[in-house]
């Protein structure tokens, strides 16, 4: 059996989830980043750790899951942080 699509993650993966309605794939990695792709493997967004004022803190990802009905992503990291990200409408 051959895969329908393949994508190459930028770092070793720790967790992955596919949203059943929004056609999104989220990949959490051990390098403190989360990559979001469409179902064709096109990169849509990356969430990374940033230093400075109001910087989002992300430790190495240990788990992630999409909300089943909304375009929201829950992420757990190895530093005991839980974050929820919600897709915003593009303007």
pLDDT in tens, 12-67: 889 999 998 999 999 999 888 899 999 888 999 998 866 555 556 667 899 999 99
- Write down the pLDDT at residue 67: 96
pLDDT at site 7: 76
Does the pTM surpass 0.85? The reply is no
Structural domain spans, the chain: 1-23+53-91
**Whole-angstrom distance, CA of residue 75 vs CA of residue 82:** 6
- CA 31, CA 91: separation in Å to the nearest integer? 30
């Amino acid at each position: 059996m051959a895969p329908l699509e393949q994508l190459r993650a930028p770092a070793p993966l720790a967790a992955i989830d596919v949203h059943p309605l929004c056609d999104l794939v989220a990949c959490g990695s051990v390098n403190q980043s989360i990559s979001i792709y469409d179902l064709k493997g096109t990169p849509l967004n990356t969430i990374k750790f940033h230093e400075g004022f109001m910087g989002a803190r992300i430790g190495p990802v240990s788990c992630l899951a999409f909300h089943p009905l909304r375009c929201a992503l829950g992420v757990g990291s190895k530093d005991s942080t839980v974050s929820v990200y919600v897709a915003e409408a593009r303007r």
